[in-house]
Amino acid sequence: MSDRNKNGSGKKKPVSAGNNASTVNQSWLKHPLVIKTGVVLILVFIAWLIYLDAQVRYKFEGKRWALPAQVYARALEVYDGRALNMDNLENELALLNYQRVDQPSRPGDYSVRGAQVELVSRAHDLPDGTHLSRHFRFSIRGDVVQNLTAVDGQNASIVTLEPFKMGGIYPHVKEERLLVSYDELPESLILALLVTEDRDFFSHWGVAPLSIARAMVANIRAGRVVQGGSTLTQQLVKNFYLSRERSIWRKLNEAFMALLLEVHYSKEAILETYANDIFLGQAGKTAIHGFAMASRFYFGKDLSQCSVGEVATLVAMLKGPSYFDPRRFPERTTERRNLILKLLYDVDFLSMAELQTAQGSPLNVVRKPSLQTNRYPAFMDLVKRQLKQEYHEDDLRTEGLRIYTTLDPQVQREVERAVKEKLPQVSKDPSLQAAAVVTGVGTGEVLAMVGDRRTRYEGFNRALDAERQIGSLIKPAVYLTALRQPDKYHLATPLSDEAFRLEFENGQSWQPDNFDHEVHGTLPLYQSLAKSYNLSTARLGLELGVEQVQETLRLLGIEKPTTPYPSLFLGAQSLTPFEVSKFYQTIASNGFNMPLRGIREVTNAQGELLSRYPFETEQVIEPEAIFLLQHAMQEVMRSGTGKSAYWTLPSALKTAGKTGTTNDNRDSWFAGFSGDYLGIVWLGKDDNSPTTLTGSSGALKVWTQFISRIPQYPIASRKPKAVDYHWYHETDQVLTDERCRGAVPLPIWGEPAGLEYASCRRGVGAIKEWFKSWF
């Protein structure tokens, strides 16, 4: 017996059985191993809490989501005088999910009665500010908007519709999300969430033990899971931080993280994050997250514009977006929606009349929008390339940038249709490929682009990357070089279209030939271009010199090295369709170089302007020379290789252009412009094998189709003061009198050097001329 059992007198202290047990317990707790283990567990628990805390704060305060960049087409502006036809307007409204109704009253409604259109636009934000919803009317007569008036009485000189979202630049995990702040959440949404998911949200600390207990009782009674006990905070933790793994460990993590979240952040911040994070559907490979995105996806409108029934539908989907998909399962979704509406009535948010109205209304889901990223893959490619010059790839994919482009959905639509419809008509060969670029003549904006005959195919972009020999497409540069020297050349300068052979010092030779293998004698310069004769063009080029023509190409916007040999004059030069656009853009815009651009502005996710790509221009070619060249290129369309376009185009639509065909018909090109649009079309095969097409029989047909379907203005270049019209007799190749039979007005810069004058024939000569004109 130890000394501890003795009292002070040395007598033994009596020891009872109970005393023995508590002493044993106390001694067990005081056991060093137990104490050490307890301390270690506490330390581990604290460390674990610190780790969870760090996780919670890191993600919540950092970049919460990888937000894809949103890419928008140009916003349609409606104003008196705008070229627009009814078909294009309705197509644009369909893209924006506008509904055709009898009496437009809500944003997104429109009506058409004959030529009269009435429309209620949706409110939206653009880089220049917020555009409120507008109710307005206008008519379309002769493909022009007229009589734009506001129904609400406000000024309506221009009404801008929201831009069509044409795609995005996505992170590797494909999610679509639009962020909203807590203040932007509709009251009906907040209340619906609370009554459905977490009534005590604003009073608990992230975990609600009573709710858990309540749910357990309900589930035990039902024999299955009928009620969840998780709070909104726990649901957010599960979705935002953790996996869907069902385990005690995950539940523990979830509970403590919820507590930590509540410690650090306000209820509003938590609810806002929940509303932006929640999964609400799938569109192909893209997941729909957040109520704001879901409202666009299901109802085609902003969350702020959703009715209480539509909000209730979104909340109804929380139980299972696939099970309660309003498009696939409207009946069960309606039933769940009505249940939620009843709950809103129970808390006095809705009156009985409002409840009945909402429960009786249809779901109002719109046609499923396409969220594929490659709707216009060729154009998106251009946008990405231009953005990568200023932004990191990672920022493009994750920062939620908003990119406002120059793409015109109507022009793009017509170009795609023309490619799809015309290619099978011009050739049965399925390997024939196509590329097209359309730009605004006066703006330099890229309005449409196609890089493959399968216009939605996201692969090799021929518009930007297919370097092909351009053939006769280069000839305007040769003739422009000449026309810039008015003391030596003018449109009526006689050119010799006779065969020749050029011998080089290295023993090689060059012997060009015409397409028809014929020679055509002497003819005026403009006709040589109109008929695209090779011999006369080559002779002219040799007079001018290769370097001069190269310099003209450089001025026109071709930055890459060009062929330093005479074969350059006939198009032995490879360019992409986009590069061809650059040099024809300068011709079409009267000698002013303007950088082609596919983007107007870039903002961040909050709408703050980051980049602006303004209009820029620089005069590089004399307007007199360009005016003459444009006249000659119009002759191409009137009487030359492009004239078949007027089997389709109206005669009053003045256009100018140039066909291009390379050796063995490997490439079929056409470049043409009106007053508004410049279009470049290329047809050919990727393996560079011959086709059966010339520029006229192939590319021109595609160009003609889309140009004929877009309302536009004809060419109307202002005549420079130094240019005068002279009457020119085409057959005799002399200047003559006004209204002389066989004479045409010809613009000439300066004095018409080298041209003789002959008066109109009278008497027998006139009669002979008259007889000749019948044959």
Active site residues: 197, 472
Which C-beta is closer to another protein: that of 261 or that of 594? 594
Identify the bridge partners of residue 168 per DSSP, sorted by sequence position. Answer: 70
Q: How far is the CB of 400 from another protein (least distance, A)?
A: 22
At 93 the three-state DSSP class reads: helix
Q: Which of 583, 577, 599 is nearest to 460 (CA)?
A: 577
Beta bridge partners of 468: 575
CB of 373 to another protein, least distance (A): 27
Residue 157 binds to another protein (criterion: CB under 8 A):
yes
Min dist CB 76 to another protein, Å, is: 12
Identity at 370, one-letter amino acid code: S
Q: 49 — alpha (psi -120 to 50), left (phi > 0) or beta?
A: alpha
Q: Does 82 bind another protein (CB under 8 A)?
A: yes
Closer by beta carbon to another protein, 114 or else 360: 114
Element (H, E) at 192: helix 187-197
Q: Does 614 bind another protein (CB under 8 A)?
A: yes
Closest alpha carbon to 538 in 574, 501, 573: 501
Minimum CB distance to another protein smaller for 254 or for 445: 445
DSSP 668-708: EEEEEE-SSEEEEEEEEETT----S--TTTTHHHHHHHHHH
The interface mask with another protein, positions 301-340, x = CB under 8 A, is ----------------------------------------
Among 592, 669, 677, 682, binds another protein (CB under 8 A): 592
User: Measured between alpha carbons, how far is 731 from 748 in angstroms, rounded to an integer?
Assistant: 18
Q: Whole-angstrom Cα distance, residue 191 to residue 280?
A: 18
Interface with another protein includes 768 (CB under 8 A)? no
Query: Please, which residue, 57 or 82, has the CB nearer to another protein?
Result: 82
Which segment (58-66, 238-246, 394-402, 442-450) binds another protein by CB under 8 A? 442-450
Residue 348 CA: distances (Å) to CA of 188, 485, 555, 563: 12, 85, 73, 80
CB 555 within 8 A of CB 644: no
Interaction of residue 619 with another protein, rule CB under 8 A? yes
Rounded to a whole number of angstroms, the minimum distance from the CB of residue 172 to another protein is 35
**Could you write out the DSSP letters of every residue in 13-73?**
PP--HHHHHHHHHHHHHT-HHHHHHHHHHHHHHHHHHHHHHHHHHHHHHS--S-BPEEEE-
Contacts of 60 (CB under 8 A, 6+ apart): 261, 264, 265, 269, 273
Q: How far is CA 578 from CA 214, 419, 693, in A?
A: 67, 17, 21
Stretch that binds another protein, among 77-85, 252-260, 266-274, 694-702 (CB under 8 A): 77-85
Of positions 4, 428, 517, 718, contacts another protein by CB under 8 A: 718
CB of 414 to another protein, least distance (A): 14
Should residue 616 be labelled a site residue for another protein when binding is judged by CB under 8 A? yes
368 binds another protein (CB under 8 A): no
Among the listed ranges 62-70, 142-150, 317-325, 552-560, the one in contact with another protein (CB under 8 A) is 142-150
Alpha-carbon distances of 354 from 239, 308, 330, 653, rounded to whole Å: 34, 9, 21, 57
Contact status: 136 vs another protein (CB under 8 A): no
Q: In the numeric block, which tokens belong to residue 291?
A: 């109520």
> Buried (b) or exposed (e) across 427-458, using 16+ Cβ within 10 A?
beeeebbbbbbbbbbbbbbbbbbbbbbebeeb
Is the Cβ of residue 100 or residue 719 nearer to another protein in the bound state? 719
Say how far apart CA 669 and CA 641 lie, in whole Å: 12
Q: How far apart are CB 549 and another protein at their closest, in Å?
A: 24
Q: How far is the CB of 775 from another protein (least distance, A)?
A: 15
762 binds another protein (CB under 8 A): no
Among 49, 123, 734, 744, binds another protein (CB under 8 A): 744
Beta carbon of residue 676, minimum distance to another protein (angstroms, whole number): 8
Q: Nearest to residue 350, comparing CAs of 341, 360, 339, 359?
A: 341
Nearer to another protein, 63 or 141 (CB): 141
Using CB under 8 A as the binding rule, whether residue 80 contacts another protein is answered as: yes
User: How far from 419 is each of 70, 579, 738, 739, 757, CA to CA, in Å?
Assistant: 27, 20, 45, 43, 48
- Contact flag: residue 653 with another protein (CB under 8 A): yes
- What residues does 286 pair with on adjacent strands? 283
**Residue 737 touches another protein, criterion: CB under 8 A:** no
For another protein, which residue of 143, 197, 268, 732 counts as binding (CB under 8 A)?
143
* Size of the residue set binding another protein (CB under 8 A): 59
CB of 423 to another protein, least distance (A): 25
Q: Does 55 bind another protein (CB under 8 A)?
A: no
Examine residue 115 and tell whether it contacts another protein (CB under 8 A): no
Q: How far is the CB of 731 from another protein (least distance, A)?
A: 15
Q: How far is the CB of 72 from another protein (least distance, A)?
A: 15
Q: Return the residue of 590, 603, 665, 736 that touches another protein, per CB under 8 A.
A: 590
446 binds another protein (CB under 8 A): no
Binds another protein (CB under 8 A): choice among 719, 750, 751, 772: 719
φ, ψ (nearest 5 deg) of residue 119: -150, 145
Q: Does 130 bind another protein (CB under 8 A)?
A: no
Query: What is the SS3 assignment for 372?
Result: coil
CA distance 431 to 666: 13
Return the residue of 171, 369, 494, 714 that touches another protein, per CB under 8 A: 714
Q: Which of 17, 220, 225, 716 forms a contact with another protein (CB under 8 A)? A: 716
Among 179, 743, 748, 755, indicate the residue that binds another protein (CB under 8 A).
Answer: 743
Contact between 459 and another protein by CB under 8 A: the answer reads no
Chain centre to alpha carbon of residue 208: 47
The residue range among 281-289, 448-456, 469-477, 767-775 that interacts with another protein, by the rule CB under 8 A, is 767-775
Query: If binding is defined by CB under 8 A, does position 11 make contact with another protein?
Result: no
* Closer by beta carbon to another protein, 323 or else 615: 615
- What is the chain's alpha carbon radius of gyration, rounded to the nearest angstrom? 38
Q: Point out which span in 46-54, 441-449, 569-577, 658-666 binds another protein (CB under 8 A).
A: 441-449
The residue written with tokens 């160009």 in the block is: 703
Helix (H) or strand (E) holding 288: strand 286-289
Q: Which of 163, 440, 476, 642 binds another protein (CB under 8 A)?
A: 440
Identify residue 413 by its one-letter amino acid code.
R
Residue 759 CB neighbour total at 10 angstroms: 10
User: Which residues neighbour 741 within 8 Å (Cβ) at sequence distance 6 or greater?
Assistant: 760, 766, 769, 770, 773
- Give, in order, the Cα–Cα distances in Å from 645 to each of 268, 280, 373, 653, 696: 64, 51, 35, 11, 9
Q: Which stretch binds another protein (CB under 8 A): 51-59, 168-176, 500-508, 709-717?
A: 709-717
Residue in 558, 374, 387 with CA at minimum distance from that of residue 452: 374
Q: How far is the CB of 658 from another protein (least distance, A)?
A: 19
* 285 is a site residue for another protein (CB under 8 A): no
Q: How far is the CB of 178 from another protein (least distance, A)?
A: 24
Residue 63 makes contact with another protein by CB under 8 A: no
721 binds another protein (CB under 8 A): yes
Contact pick of 55, 85, 305, 370 for another protein (by CB under 8 A) = 85
Site for another protein, rule CB under 8 A: 77, 79-82, 85, 127-128, 141-144, 146, 157-158, 440-443, 445, 590-592, 600, 612, 614-619, 623, 649-654, 674, 708, 711-714, 716, 718-721, 725, 738-739, 741, 743-745, 767, 770, 773
